[in-house]
Amino acid sequence: MRAESARSAESSEPTAIQLPAGDYVALAQGFYFIFWGLLVTLLAGAQLLILAGIPAYSEWILGAGVVSTLTGSHRLYRVRSVGERWHRRTRVLFVLGLLLAYFCIFFFLWRRLPNNNYLMGNALAFAASGILYLVAFNRAVAALATALGRHNMAMESQLLSASNIGLLLLPFASIVIYIISLALIHQSEPLAELQSLLGRANLLVIVVVLLPFSLTLSLAWSCKDSVLHELAGIDRPRDPGSGRS
């Protein structure tokens, strides 16, 4: 009875899958594009938002970062062999990448017409798309890590997804509501309230914002390394008794 129970328990546990070599290459390329795309998007976008008199070529740098992120998302979405849950989550990731590219255009327009409330709303949607992209990216990584049998990475990505919601998405939504409320109460422009809020931001706020973002970048790089490790060992027989981290 105990032997049968042990066999049934083993059969119920998810087993790691092995992907075609081309899919490993596509995954590594996708994570590489996303890592550098998100990093460039954050640095260039923060400069364009906070600093005045930034040269026009900074917008081209931001655009390059967004395009790189979208390219990486498309590479991940094209990999179908990981499973249905991965495919669903990468489809959401690719759609958010498209929205990021779409609202990026309005962000450029808003910098030229900062007092236009319609363009400002779209610029805020650009930031919201970036935060939602981080959440969706971590969820997609969790699906991939589970399929590859890397349970520690799956748990890490789930925790990062929750931290992005708690430390980025919810505070961002609260800030938008706060700005709109103050603009209605003071009968002022939302831009003035946003500038006043940015002027009161301290180092602690910046650290809290950058922490989940930097951890997500670290996860993207780790995923790239893990996929390359899988690709390097694709011809080596696996030891069934060895576990994965």
Structural domain boundaries in the chain: 20-232
Rounded CA-CA distance 171/178 in Å is: 10
Query: Does the pLDDT of residue 11 top 60, yes or no?
Result: no
Residue 43 neighbours by CB under 8 Å, 6+ apart: 65
Rounded CA-CA distance 210/171 in Å is: 13
39-55 residue pLDDT tens:
999 888 888 877 656 66
Rounded CA-CA distance 174/169 in Å is: 9
Show the tokens assigned to 96: 């958010």
Rounded CA-CA distance 127/45 in Å is: 9
Amino acid at 90: T
Please give the C-alpha separations between residue 226 and each of 35, 94, 139, 187, 245, in angstroms, as whole numbers: 14, 22, 17, 54, 11
The pLDDT assigned to 7 comes to 42
- Taking the model in full, what pTM does it have? 0.83
pLDDT band at 3 (very low <50, low <70, confident <90, very high): very low
139-173 residue pLDDT tens:
999 999 998 888 888 898 989 888 888 888 888 88
Burial class (CB in 10 A: 0-12, 13-18, 19+), 239: exposed
**Nearest one of 80, 87, 71, 85 to 32, comparing CA atoms:** 71
**Nearest one of 124, 126, 202, 131 to 160, comparing CA atoms:** 131
In whole angstroms, what separates CA 220 from the centre of its chain? 9
| Section 190-204 average pLDDT | 71
Rounded CA-CA distance 138/136 in Å is: 5
Rounded CA-CA distance 35/218 in Å is: 8
Rounded CA-CA distance 50/38 in Å is: 18
- Contact predicate 156/146, CB 8 Å: no
